[in-house]
Amino acid sequence: MSAAGTTDAPATVLVYSHRAEVRESVRTAVGRRPARDVGPLTWLECTTPDEVVAAVDRGGIDLCVLDGEAQPAGGLALARQLDQEVPGRPAVCVLIARQPDRWLAHWSRAEGILPMPVDPLTAPAVVADLLRTHARRPAVR
C-alpha cells in the first residue's frame, strides 16, 4: 500500500455463491482491474461455506464477495460467522437481492454492499474502495 492509500499490488478476491451465474456476474462486472490504482485481481470461486472458511483460514484473501441468497448458507450469515470466528479476516462485501435487506448487511458486519443484479458501473468502484481501505491482514494461526 502506498502512502496515498492506493495499491498496485495484485489482490485476491473470493466470490461465493452456489450459482455459477452469480459468481460470473460479479467477476464480469468488476473485471480484472477495478481501478487504475487497484489490482490486478485474481479471482477465487467458492461454492460452499466450508470452501470459504477454509480459503480464509489459509490466508491470502484480500476481499470476500458473498452472495446473500446462496444455499445452503447465505452470505450474510457467513459474513457474520467470519467476523466472529476468524481473527484478521479480509474485508467482506455482501450481495443483497432486496434493498430492505440492507439492515441484514449491517448486522453481518460486512464493510460493503452490492445490490443484485450486480451493476458493472458501480461494482468496480465498491470493490476498489474496499481493497484500498482494507489492507490484507495475515491469517492468525
Residue with cell 477495478: 34
Residue 39, pLDDT score? 79
Name the stretches of the chain with pLDDT < 50.
1-6, 137-141
Task: Label residues 68-83 b or e (16+ Cβ within 10 Å = b).
Answer: bbbeebbbbbbbbbbe
99 DSSP 8-state letter: G
pLDDT digits (tens, 9 = 90+) for 20-32: 999 999 999 999 9
Residue with cell 455459477: 20
> Which CATH number is 11-132 given?
3.40.50.2300
pTM as predicted: 0.89
Residue 119, pLDDT score? 96
CA distance 77 to 16: 12
The torsion of the CA quartet 126, 57, 77, 110, rounded to 10 degrees, works out to: -30
